[in-house]
């Protein structure tokens, strides 16, 4: 690969002799021996602030239009409200899903529960973000709102409670930063490796590379059955006017 010969002088010229304690003898190594130039790392321009989409992100909502999304029922244009750079669930119009499909992915999204508190438990500011349309990261107004641990905000719904409850008060914006690894199946449809997820909620680690038990179930028990390698994201219409802004994703595979 490289044609220039490494100068012997340079080897001898290394002045810091390093004693690697577990070796049988002191070995003088040139530091260049552990310097690798491949693979070459591609630059990616970050957003001006960390929550803004970097240059390689697929922007899924830029404040003005839901044209990256369709109704999950019939594929029609979403009936949710877009206003002031924000979109909001319109109850009973059904969930929405992305046109684009994703497998392993980094996702950023921001959500806000209504400032006027109505209902309690699961009835209060409820929605959900479904990776691959199957694996739900719960969205709920969990600020001083008791519900089951594995159903509160930032839980992997009915599977993993968050490590802590980092929810901001009603009417304030919350952020989710998500790293998702899709499950893998073998040729016979048996699970080879399960889905895994890491989540930061408002900058705080709440899911630490946890393993998903299977697609999320509201009633019943999650278990894996083979599915596609890439699938759309879904956002749930749970009847509450939860709002969203600034959603972007970076494919990892």
Is the bond preceding residue 233 a cis peptide, omega within 30 degrees?
no
Least CB distance to a second copy at residue 116 (A): 21
Q: Please, what is the end-to-end C-alpha distance for the chain in angstroms?
A: 27
Read off the DSSP letter of residue 99.
S
What residues numbered 60-119 form the site for a second copy, per CB under 8 A?
A: 104, 106, 108
Structure tokens at 241: 């006017």
Give me the sign of the Cα torsion angle 208, 213, 215, 219: negative
Contact between 94 and 73 under an 8 Å Cβ cutoff? The reply is yes
Cβ proximity to a second copy: between 36 and 83 the closer is: 36
- For the segment 156-175, give every residue that binds a second copy (CB under 8 A): 158-168, 175
Q: Give 53's contacts (C-beta < 8 A, 6+ positions apart).
A: 47, 59, 108, 246, 248
Closest contact distance (angstroms) between CB of 118 and a second copy is 21
**Among residue numbers 8 through 27, which ones bind a second copy (CB under 8 A)?**
8, 11-12, 14, 16, 18-27
CA distances from 83 to 10, 110, 118, 216, 243 (A): 65, 15, 22, 31, 10
> Which residues, 180 to 239, sit near a second copy by CB under 8 A?
184, 186-192, 194, 198, 200-205, 208-211, 213, 217-221, 223, 225-226
By CB under 8 A, is residue 30 in contact with a second copy? yes
Interaction with a second copy in 119-158: which residues (CB under 8 A)? Answer: 144, 147-152, 158
Q: Kindly state the smallest distance separating residue 106's Cβ from a second copy, in Å.
A: 5
Size of the site for a second copy (CB under 8 A): 104
């Amino acid at each position: 690969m490289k044609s220039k010969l490494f100068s012997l002088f340079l080897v001898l010229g290394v002045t810091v002799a390093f004693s690697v304690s577990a070796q049988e003898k002191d070995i003088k190594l040139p530091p260049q021996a552990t310097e690798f130039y491949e693979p070459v790392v591609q630059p990616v321009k970050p957003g001006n602030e960390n929550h803004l989409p970097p240059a390689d992100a697929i922007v899924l909502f830029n404040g003005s239009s839901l044209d990256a999304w369709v109704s999950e029922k019939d594929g029609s244009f979403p009936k949710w409200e877009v206003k002031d750079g924000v979109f909001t669930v319109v109850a009973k119009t059904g969930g929405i899903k992305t046109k684009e499909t994703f497998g392993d992915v980094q996702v950023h999204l921001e959500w806000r529960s209504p400032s006027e508190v109505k209902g309690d438990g699961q009835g209060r500011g409820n929605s959900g973000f479904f990776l691959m349309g199957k694996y739900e990261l719960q969205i709920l107004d969990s600020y001083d709102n008791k519900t089951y641990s594995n159903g509160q905000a930032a839980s992997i719904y009915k599977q993993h409670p968050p490590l802590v409850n980092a929810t901001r008060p009603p009417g304030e914006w919350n952020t989710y930063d998500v790293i998702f690894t899709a499950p893998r199946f073998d040729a016979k449809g048996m699970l080879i490796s399960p889905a895994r997820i890491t989540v930061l909620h408002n900058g705080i680690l709440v899911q630490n590379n946890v393993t998903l038990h299977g697609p999320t179930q509201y009633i019943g028990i999650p278990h894996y059955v083979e599915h596609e390698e890439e699938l759309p994201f879904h956002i749930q219409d749970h009847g509450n006017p939860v709002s969203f802004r600034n959603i972007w994703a970076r494919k990892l595979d």
